[in-house]
Amino acid sequence: MAIKQYAVIGLGRFGTSIARRLYEAGQEVLGIDINEESVEDAEPYVTHGAIADSTEEKALTALGIKNFDCVIVAIGDDLQASILTVMLLKNLGIKKVIAKAMSKRHGQVLEAIGTNWIIYPERDMGERVANQLLSPNVLDY
């Protein structure tokens, strides 16, 4: 598998689990969070960790974000920060921007500003569990 450069913005449980899986698969992962403790906690699971506010263009540019193949915006609760971050990334020319949405409206805004893949964590996980239960290969529950 070719090695790609990923950046994960927002190192809560969701962001950290994406970062960790990519990192363990041998990919280059930059983990970014505004909170120092979150960056420290994620440090074992990323290639580089950075404390930065992703709503600030200068901060993103200083991290060389333009060179990344794919950026995952894993900020949920702060709607404004999530939307501003995606807008900046799209304006900077990032081809693949993935973002988590906490509500239908949040998702609609993310879609309108060009997010390439919108993840609804609870909904998507629920569907996945149901699909697994319906799969003929699954053990009977």
* HSE-up (13 A, CA, CB side) for residue 42: 34
Q: Does residue 72 contact residue 110 with C-beta atoms inside 8 Å?
A: no
Q: How far apart are CA 80 and CA 6, in angstroms?
A: 23
Interface residues toward ligand ATP, by CB under 6 A: 9-15, 32-35, 38, 53-55, 74-78, 81
Question: By Cβ distance, which residue is nearest to ligand ATP?
Answer: 12
Nearer to ligand ATP, 3 or 117 (CB): 117
Least spacing, CB of residue 114 vs ligand ATP, in Å:
19
Least spacing, CB of residue 13 vs ligand ATP, in Å:
3
Nearer to ligand ATP, 70 or 135 (CB): 70
Least spacing, CB of residue 55 vs ligand ATP, in Å:
5
